[in-house]
């Protein structure tokens, strides 16, 4: 299992938990070994699995959630075709949150429009940066992005050190499991929830919702595209040329793992709630986005583009 992100973050922890249980549901009960190949927001790992890795079903990519919607982010360095990839599934429908550290001046979502908030970034095509750019460009928030952090765990340390004031997108499950005391002790303030549908989690019930603060139908449609990534929160795939019987076996094993009581007990300790999406269901979501009117896709691409990029 090739993980397209650094050790210790949510993607890595999820992949390692899946790897401990997936083999039991595959013929021969093979061991699953995790290898981290971070770089370019999982593009390096995706290129490797798509182009170079063995195509016999023994190599699975565990990548960051923007990869399925790579159409939005241009083709720089991309050597894979998202629509040709065989998607195995996703472990969760992620809810992201905008978080402010306790010493930041921002106390409510309205404050994001009033003063600049310094947030960390892990790469131009990752959630913490692209959501911040989209909110700045569409809604008029004032996020100032400091890029270059290797992962969310490093951004959390940066918040503690007050190098940055918060995050424009942090998976709530990561906070709930990795830093529950930060919520209870008031070290962070959750200002906004980011998802395709509003969370029913009691901890987020009174937190404003991104689609509710969009002021026009055009703004809502743009954020519906971006929030579609949340429905594929932790995606896994194999290369297009992997034989169908093997990709089908992996898809079946993946969903069996998602229902496995041992996996669920393990996940409860570190990952939080599991809300899986099957490989075929992922492919339908991706196909629907790629079938959107070109003008709308172009508008979304322009919104998330890094300033000064071609």
What pTM does this model have?
Answer: 0.75
> Do residues 109 and 196 both lie within one domain?
yes
**Contact between residue 131 and residue 169 where contact means Cβ atoms under 8 Å apart:** yes
Residue listed under structure tokens 């830093």: 179
List Cα–Cα distances, 212 to 20, 202, 216, 224, 304, in angstroms. Answer: 39, 18, 10, 11, 20
CATH number at residue 271: 3.40.190.150
Of 192, 209, 228, which residue sits at a domain end? 228
Please count the residues of the chain.
310
Does 308 fall in a domain?
no
User: Cα angle vertex 195, ends 191, 198, to 5°?
Assistant: 80
Q: What is the pLDDT along the chain (310 residues), one digit of tens a residue?
A: 999 998 988 899 999 999 999 999 999 999 999 999 998 889 999 999 999 999 999 999 999 988 988 766 666 789 999 999 999 999 988 889 999 999 999 999 999 999 999 999 988 878 899 899 999 999 999 999 999 998 888 999 999 999 999 999 998 988 987 898 999 999 999 999 998 888 888 889 899 999 999 999 889 988 988 888 777 889 999 999 999 999 999 999 999 999 999 999 999 887 877 889 999 999 988 888 888 888 888 888 888 876 655 5
> Do residues 69 and 100 both lie within one domain?
no
CATH number at residue 204: 3.40.190.10
**SS3 of residue 100 by DSSP:** strand
> Do residues 106 and 80 both lie within one domain?
no
pLDDT at residue 82 in the model:
92
> Do residues 19 and 74 both lie within one domain?
yes
Does 303 fall in a domain?
no
Tally of structural domains, the chain: 2
Greatest Cα-to-Cα distance within the chain, rounded to the nearest angstrom: 59
Does 310 fall in a domain?
no
> Do residues 59 and 147 both lie within one domain?
no
> Do residues 100 and 222 both lie within one domain?
yes
**SS3 of residue 150 by DSSP:** coil
> Do residues 198 and 285 both lie within one domain?
no
pLDDT at residue 309 in the model:
56
| Separation between Cα atoms, residue 251 and residue 88, nearest integer Å | 5
Does 305 fall in a domain?
no
Does 277 fall in a domain?
yes
**SS3 of residue 34 by DSSP:** coil
Domain that holds residue 8: 2-92+233-293
Of 206, 228, 250, which residue sits at a domain end? 228
What the block records as the tokens of 178 is 């990795």
Does 102 fall in a domain?
yes
Residue listed under structure tokens 């919520």: 183
| Separation between Cα atoms, residue 292 and residue 226, nearest integer Å | 13
pLDDT at residue 28 in the model:
95
Does 269 fall in a domain?
yes
């Amino acid at each position: 299992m090739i993980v397209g992100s650094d050790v210790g973050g949510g993607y890595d922890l999820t992949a390692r938990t899946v790897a401990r249980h997936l083999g039991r549901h595959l013929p021969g009960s093979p061991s699953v070994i995790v290898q981290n190949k971070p770089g370019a927001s999982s593009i390096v790992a995706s290129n490797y699995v798509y182009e170079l890795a063995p195509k016999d079903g023994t190599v699975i990519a565990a990548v960051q959630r923007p990869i399925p919607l790579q159409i939005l982010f241009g083709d720089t360095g991309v050597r894979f075709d998202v629509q040709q990839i065989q998607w195995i599934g996703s472990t969760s429908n992620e809810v992201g949150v905008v978080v402010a550290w306790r010493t930041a001046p921002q106390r409510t979502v309205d404050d994001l429009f009033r003063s600049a908030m310094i947030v960390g970034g892990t790469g131009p095509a990752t959630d913490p940066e692209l959501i911040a750019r989209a909110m700045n460009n569409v809604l008029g928030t004032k996020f100032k992005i400091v890029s270059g952090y290797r992962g969310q765990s490093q951004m959390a340390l940066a918040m503690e050190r007050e190098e940055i004031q918060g995050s424009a997108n942090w998976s709530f499950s990561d906070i709930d499991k990795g830093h529950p005391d930060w919520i209870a002790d008031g070290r962070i303030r959750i200002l906004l929830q980011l998802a395709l549908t509003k969370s029913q989690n009691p901890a987020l019930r009174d937190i404003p919702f991104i689609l509710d603060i969009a002021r026009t139908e055009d703004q809502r449609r743009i954020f519906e595209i971006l929030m579609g990534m949340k429905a594929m929160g932790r995606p896994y795939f194999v290369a297009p040329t992997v034989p169908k019987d093997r990709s089908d076996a992996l898809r079946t094993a993946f969903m069996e793992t998602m229902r496995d009581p041992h996996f669920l007990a393990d996940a409860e300790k570190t990952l939080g709630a599991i809300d899986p999406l099957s490989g075929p269901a992922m492919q339908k979501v991706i196909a629907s986005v790629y079938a959107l009117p070109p003008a709308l896709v172009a508008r979304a691409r322009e919104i998330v583009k890094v300033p000064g990029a071609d």
